[in-house]
Amino acid sequence: MNAFPILSAIWLAPFVTGLLIMAFVPDTRIQAIKWLSLGASGLSLLLTVWLLAQFDYGRAGQLQFAERFSLVPSLGVEYHLGADGISLLMVVLNSLILFTGVLASWGLKHRGKEFFVLLLLLGGGVFGVFTSFNLYVFFALYEVAVLPMYLLIGIWGTGPKEYSAMKLTLMLMGGSAFLLLGILALYYGSTPHTLDIFELNKAAMAGQFSPGFQKLWFPVLFLGFGVLAALWPLHTWSPDGHASAPTAVSMLHAGVLMKLGAYGCLRVAIFLLPAGAHFWAPLIAVLALVNIVYGSIGAAAQTDLKYVTAYSSVSHMGLVLLGLATLDTLGMNGAVLQMFAHGIMTGTFFALIGMTYGRTHTRLMPKLGGLAQVMPFIAAAYVIAGMAGLGLPGLSSFPAELLVFLGAYFTQDLFFKVVAVIALTSIVFTALYVLRVLQKTFYGPITEPHYKELGDATLVERIPVVILITVMVLVGVYPFPVLRLIDGGLIAVAQTLGSLPR
């Protein structure tokens, strides 16, 4: 075991830096603030790389780098960090998005200090959630990660930003209210009372949670997390929120926070209440199917670039949820890989949209056109990300979507076969909206004369895009190390689900 508390360091690096900037750096020293933010997120990224190197891949299903000390023993509250394969992958995703998000905000001028402070607090909180294995700390950090969104969108957003910010915050907090109840029920339902995720899992395997209990509390927990994962019909905060948010916030939100919801669905709802999961899986699958199809049709109908991407996120998150709902190793592997792939892809999209908007000051497709002539780098990157979006082999989304569809199709259940077939139709709509965006925005004649004056991406802007696309291609071409991580992490889930009489 490692003596150095690396997981604490990863989440505290941005979090504490944020607090320090807030306390000690005056807001006139914006350059210093930017460099500090970059340094903190870079430190997390480096530590994550080191974590990847130290991780024992043979034991990806077990908790590694564990740190624990008791906070409130009488209520089972404990600071318990650790990482298994799935956590590790999510930490990698978050450190990539946070680092690139800071870079994508480099040009920010308005109230820069507060922006970077909130961004760092948010990013730090997310790291904490992905590595917490005590439900209290998990839940507390979950809220810490969600709340800065209110100010980030409310202050730096565009369009109906105050409405969007309020809607997003209240819906997500509403979801977390249900989580709180579910967590308390789990605590008092287990003997001895515990909030430790693995202890609770043992309690579930030992049959401490009766089927009635599980059927009652599974939807509470799954829907509570489902709000953040944009499960239909609880997704309505997502298009408004993503469209109003500033670039880096959209990146973090669609790239990482939505994954937090899906991660919670897997790690808490399914892992701790397996019988409930079996009971409710068909309903979840149907809702996820609506997500997939409705999201892609919705995206095809939008004209604002951010709304297109937001609806496409709804659709892609539907694939994640469908994969989870199969309760099958293949499908769940796909779901977790899709969480990662979608995070990288949508982060790229929002970064590129931010750059485009920063130049043209509009995101409406009818007003755009021919931008590839003046900004070839952005256009090329957008094409690559778009191809990932429609699942082109060689890019990271392809293996993920393939596994989800295969997982759903190869379950024993006819029902899931039908769902898989219907879900496949979304590919057509996805192709439609992706190609339409590319054609209207980047190709064709230049619609406005002043677009000819616009420049291509600067060096600072190119770095995040290059990083994200590199990861996208690497995972797309050779996904097996990532799949090994996921598969290892899913062993425990599969054992839990398999332990039940069907």
Partner 1 sequence: MNLQLILPEFAVLGLGLLVFFLDLLAPEGASRRYLGWVCAAGFAVILAVLLASPFPQGPSTAFGGLFIADSLARVFEVLFLSAALLASLASVDALEARGVAWAGEYYFLLVMVTLAMMCLASAGDLLSLYVALELNSLGFYALVSILKGRSLVSSEAGIKYLILGAIASALLLYGFSILYGLSGTLSLQGLAAWSQGAAHSPALLLALALVTAGLAFKVSLVPFHMWAPDVYQAAPTPITAFLSVASKAAGLALLMRVLDTSFHSLAGVWDKLLMVMMALTFVWANVVALKQRDLKRLMAYSSVAQAGYLMIGIVAGTPLGLQAVLFYALVYLFTNMAAFQVIQLVSVKGSPELSGLKGLARRSPGLALIMLCAVLSLGGIPPFGGFFGKYFLFAAGVQEGLLSGRVWLLALVAFAVVMSIVSLFYYLVIIKQMYIEPSADEAPVAAPAAARIALGLCTLMILVTGVYPSPILDWLKQALP
Binding residues for partner 1, rule: CB under 8 A, are 22, 71-75, 114, 136, 139-141, 143-144, 147, 150-151, 154-155, 162, 166, 169-170, 173-174, 177-178, 180-181, 184-185, 187-189
Closer residue to partner 1 (CB): 171 or 330: 171
Q: In angstroms, give the least distance from the CB of 165 to partner 1.
A: 8
Closer residue to partner 1 (CB): 106 or 213: 213
List Cα–Cα distances, 501 to 158, 205, 206, 494, 496, in angstroms.
Answer: 52, 11, 13, 13, 11
Q: In angstroms, give the least distance from the CB of 138 to partner 1.
A: 11
List Cα–Cα distances, 374 to 209, 365, 423, 452, 457, in angstroms.
Answer: 61, 16, 38, 6, 10
Q: Which residues contact 159 (CB under 8 A, 6 or more apart)?
A: 243, 244
Closer residue to partner 1 (CB): 145 or 351: 145
Q: In angstroms, give the least distance from the CB of 434 to partner 1.
A: 35
Q: In angstroms, give the least distance from the CB of 413 to partner 1.
A: 33
Q: In angstroms, give the least distance from the CB of 179 to partner 1.
A: 10
Closer residue to partner 1 (CB): 139 or 409: 139
Task: Kindly calculate the radius of gyration of the chain based on its CA atoms and give it in whole angstroms.
Answer: 21
The candidate with the shortest Cα–Cα distance to 116, out of 43, 30, 245, 44, is 30
The candidate with the shortest Cα–Cα distance to 265, out of 278, 275, 277, 255, is 277
User: What angle separates helix 197-205 from helix 480-498, to the nearest 10 degrees?
Assistant: 50
348-376 residues labelled b (16+ CB within 10 A) or e (exposed): bbbbbbbbbbebbeebebeebbbbbbbbe
Token readout for 2 is 């490692």
Closer residue to partner 1 (CB): 15 or 405: 15
In angstroms, rounded to a whole number, what is the distance separating the alpha carbons of residues 418 and 413?
Answer: 9
Q: In angstroms, give the least distance from the CB of 154 to partner 1.
A: 5
Which H or E run contains 71?
Answer: strand 64-72
Closer residue to partner 1 (CB): 194 or 411: 194
Task: Determine if the peptide bond prior to 192 is cis (ω within 30°).
Answer: yes
Closer residue to partner 1 (CB): 163 or 279: 163
Q: In angstroms, give the least distance from the CB of 151 to partner 1.
A: 6
Please identify which residue in the block is written with the tokens 């999510």: 90
